[in-house]
Chains A and B, each alone.
Chain A
């Protein structure tokens, strides 16, 4: 089998991952249309990891970590970046081989590189979720997170989902041999209008860094947090049955509010208005919402409970 040629741009790596996982039978989904801190928050992962129904999905998820903003100046850190996420339930026995195939697909020559699975257990205190697995190293560089979900939203995962997360910018910089993220070709360098990552994102990194760190209205964010929390609880407390007598549990709308609360918390954190002790309390409040959403989801048809 001939080895694939080296990719030439950020988007080519994304396209190859999409094609690869599509060829392995994953539903290629689109990003979730809300602000999230990581691809895991997408309901296609968080909620679909629950319940007994099989699932296989792959998608790009724009992710925001306000505290990581560096005004576009740091070679590796961004407050907005992309994750590539794969979730397969139940985890297939050859998931490691499938994963390695994806590295080959994006041009990593497995005969020349040193790929290692190094213990790294994953935990999301805000989602009440944890799993065991590894960070995957390529020549000492962490290129992915590989996790077997054991619990999500306080529920045992049965069956267990296998989750893969690729930090796309970092992975692409490695594959393309780029030292500063803003210098990375976004589209093909020989395109009539060749764009670099910086052409697309330098401006937004600067703007959001300022807003995240200095300008975001903390009083407003706090009240939004309270609103999201209240709305999530209200949605879940609503009667299962609507006016027309249909049983419709609103797990997803409630979960949207949970995602919102989580992101608002991240923004407040970046503004430095949350003390160490309060931090735990906020995380606990978001986790409580995530758990309730998980409780609701497993009673739905998609959640295998109806």
Chain B
């Protein structure tokens, strides 16, 4: 069984595209080979900036012969029919077989498709893969029409078995396959001939190329930590940056440098962001002070001076960048000092938020009004919430955030503190964007919560009012994220509020019901992830007060737990049975059986017991509902299970005596009423 090695050697591929490209290469090639009848043992894909590599072990030598039989017309069928069959099979009359069938003699076409050698199939599949590779962005070069992420220079494609390596012949727009590659661009640019995967990785390593991206990442991380440790410092972990940097180098060499004293006064977030965004440096922290004091940069080569020149150059660039950052920081502080944080944001009035939703300034005014409204509900001072909302977006006008948009909020907090604003206001400046990602922390400080809610609700109601809702995969204004943010803020802080009222306050042109339905969809997704069935949520959402998400979730959790018990499961069945019988009878009779049943018509013990149980349940459930003790409600419901089951077993509802029948239907109606007071159980599945 041969092994297959493919290397697509190109000019530098973007680091961010490499993980997807590795997966795509592996999937496209293996799927193609399997579809053509080959099997393989193991597949692994690798990438460096200049190569995309696939190594397959244990590929079958050829695809199996395929035998295909097709039944044709009878031998005495009209000539036209037989001709048509010959045409469709590509055979001549003599090649057909004649077999006996129930109805007489019938023509059969038997074709055999011979197996194909692996090399032939690999060549076909690889060419197709290259021509149809799903790069997020691709290009042409020179005079050709082939597309690749950057110019493709060579294709290495060999099959290796005990007898040796064999090139799989292939030609894609003039690029012919071979068994050669090249080493590191600067340190070993010569041609390398390889005979198999192990030989390939070993020769690359000798040519200063580490093929495996994970190996490069591990080496970078190890070296960086070692260097930092040796000086009593530690590297700030950043997995995204590590993967990116590993995708930028073939021969990683970590180099550590110190940040000049001048810049140590900058906020650590500024140092970190500037170094990461502009130069892809790791930050190095002093664990004693928490300050960022150094950096690690990763070069793509070894040098005779052990990286001294490279480090010097990087330091120089860093120093220029940090001088800029310091300049912005000092200018911003000066602005805050002379004009206040609100003054810094004055220019927001001239910045368009959305052409149908006015300026950022107008947005800030809306958020301020809404935050004031929301504040009492979340336990915040309305004045503080309003003050926070007024300045929370001011940093968007700072030079620092203009340069580093990802520092929005973080800078706001620094500038609020420098303006001597209350701590709660400063925190709100930073935290009102949260939560962004699904695993972000949710603010709990009341003022931050008020502004965070107001910000998101203003955005949602605004875009709803101008009919810019998310559709399918398109959500350019991140409205799903905003809605999830509101949901998490409400739930995590146990807030009791009617969202619909806030929506109306925020924007009277909003279709509140539609926006609420959107929230309910998001809530379902959120609760599903927490193990609550969607039909349980539907049953709860059908109740009044469904814009109070905390209430909805309390109910849903209680119901969900209840349904997991045997009593719950059976009670639902009892309810459904009662409901079905009742609904059918009501339809048939054209009346509604809701007069209340009379216990004097009860005949047996079981029927009397049900009366008693329902009386007890009604008496206990009402106050528990009132106090929103849904666990107690469910416990009371559970007590109904036995009497209901016993009732159905012993009593015939549709009695011949019309008075008894009506009374029993009215009794069922009481069951239904009690059950529906908890949730719309008709929505439950199963």
Contacts and interface: CB of A to CB of B under 8 A. Distances in A.
A90 interface: yes
Given A113-B309, A114-B299, A140-B318, A160 B141 contact: yes
A190 interface: no
A139 B310 contact: yes
Interface string B539-581: 0000000000000000000000000000000000000000000
B49 interface: yes
Contacts of A116: 12, 248-249, 300
A113 B313 contact: yes
A139 B139 contact: no
A75 interface: yes
Given A276-B351, A277-B355, A150 B140 contact: yes
Nearest to A275: B350
Interface string A65-98: 0000000000110000000000000111100100
A119 B153 contact: no
A140 B248 CA distance: 12
A157 B144 CA distance: 11
Interface stretch (A130-138, A219-227, A296-304): A130-138
A115 B14 contact: no
A110 B236 CA distance: 31
A107 B672 CA distance: 89
B313 A111 contact: no
Contacts of A117: 11-12, 49
B141, B279, B317, B351: most-surrounded residue (chain A CB, <10 A): B141
B255 to A, nearest CB: 9
A275 B15 CA distance: 36
Given A118-B248, A132-B137, A113 B310 contact: yes
A148 interface: yes
B16 interface: yes
Nearest to B320: A76
B186 A110 contact: yes
Contact of A141 (B15, B150, B301, B317): B317
A139 B312 CA distance: 8
Contacts of B14: 119
A265 B61 CA distance: 66
Contacts of A118: 12, 248
B142 A90 contact: yes
A53 B300 CA distance: 38
Contacts of B143: 90, 158-160
Interface string A139-159: 111000000101000000111
A12 interface: no
Contacts of A141: 313, 316-317
A158 B186 CA distance: 31
A110 B12 CA distance: 18
Contacts of A150: 139-140
Given A112-B309, A141-B316, A276-B352, A148 B141 contact: yes
B297 interface: yes
A115 B186 contact: yes
A118 B17 CA distance: 12
A186 B440 CA distance: 54
A75, A76, A141: most-surrounded residue (chain B CB, <10 A): A141
B49, B139, B320: most-surrounded residue (chain A CB, <10 A): B139
A114 B301 contact: yes
* A-B complex: 4 closest residue pairs judged by Cβ atoms: A139-B313, A119-B14, A117-B12, A159-B143
Interface of B: 11-12, 14-16, 49, 137-143, 149-151, 153, 186, 248-249, 279, 297, 299-301, 303-305, 309-314, 316-318, 320, 323, 350-352, 355
Interface of A: 75-76, 90-93, 96, 109-119, 121, 131-134, 138-141, 148, 150, 157-160, 162, 174, 275-277
10 contacts: A112-B310, A116-B12, A119-B12, A132-B137, A132-B139, A133-B150, A139-B317, A140-B313, A148-B151, A276-B351
